[in-house]
Amino acid sequence: MNFDYLIDNWRRVLELTVDHLELTAISLALALLIALPLGILVTIAHATSLPVMGGLGVIYTIPSLAALALLIPVPGLGLGRRSAIVVLAAYAQLALVRNIVAALRGVDPATLEAARGTGMTWGQVLWRVRLPLALPVLIAGLRIATVTTISLATITAWVNAGGLGSLLFDGISRDYPSQILAGAVAITTLALVVDGILRIAERMTPASRATR
């Protein structure tokens, strides 16, 4: 086990890292687009909590490889990036929705009533007061989902979705430990860096700056 592969092929490792990041970013963007309205729905309509959270829990229990295999025959998805994005977005739902609900419910009800009292409409209360105040907790939830997605995106190389996972699968099939190590190091570094950036973002939100 040595760093020969990483040293000799650092350009390729870097390319795959960018590719991996892109796959993660697209998947999370799609995931947020679904999770945000779902989270708001569950927050304001308590009755939807059980079916929504239950459904997401069921999705989460499907083994990821099985989910990928199930999507291969689906027209429009098949082998490749699209199936990977669908699976990654679906797996992020549980963590995202759960944290969005916790973040939105964590905002002081008295502050929300004060917001209504000033004459804000429902949407203005949400956008101007509730979401900004929930933002630090929202980003904390996003951080957890992001790190999970980065590691899960390794598996999706199995359906030719690209990313750093291809180094691992390739290294295993060629019995080339140095290549596996290069992949592992790159994935870990990527996860740590993105985690750090989101931690800083968490502290930069107006709500957390204001209380320091």
Partner 1 sequence: MSQAGVTTITEHHPRASAIAFEGVSKLYPGTARPAVDNISLTVEPGQFVVLLGPSGCGKTTLLKLVNRLIEHTGGRILIDSAEIRSFAAPALRRRIGYVIQQTGLFPHMRVRENIAVVPSLLKWDKPRIAQRVDALLTLVGLPPNDYRDRYPAQLSGGEQQRVGLARALAAEPTTMLMDEPFGALDAITRSRLQDELHRIHSQLGQTIVFVTHDIEEAVRLADQICVMREGRIVQFDTPLQIVLHPADEFVAELVGAHDVLRRLSLISVADVLQPVDIEAEETIPANADLRAALGMLIENGTTALAVTDEAGAITGSVDLDTIQSASSPP
Binding site for partner 1 (CB under 8 A): 108, 110-111, 113-121, 124, 129, 132-133, 205-207, 209-212
Cα dist from 119 to 19, 94, 108, 133, whole Å: 47, 34, 18, 18
CA–CA separation, 146 and 131 (whole Å):
20
Q: How far is the CB of 49 from partner 1 (least distance, A)?
A: 22
Q: Sign (positive/negative) of CA torsion 179, 181, 182, 188?
A: positive
Shorter beta-carbon distance to partner 1: residue 46 or 212: 212
Q: Among residues 1 and 47, whose Cβ is nearest to partner 1?
A: 47
* Closest distance to partner 1 from the beta carbon of 139 (Å): 14
Q: How far is the CB of 208 from partner 1 (least distance, A)?
A: 9
Measured from the CB atom, the residue of 1 and 210 that comes closer to partner 1 is: 210
Shortest distance (Å) from residue 120 CB to partner 1: 7
Nearest of 53, 36, 27, 200 to residue 131 by alpha carbon: 36
Give the type of residue at 208.
S
Residue type, 122: W
| Surface-to-core class of residue 93, CB atoms within 10 Å of its CB (0-12 exposed, 13-18 middle, 19+ buried) | buried
Nearer to partner 1, 54 or 119 (CB): 119
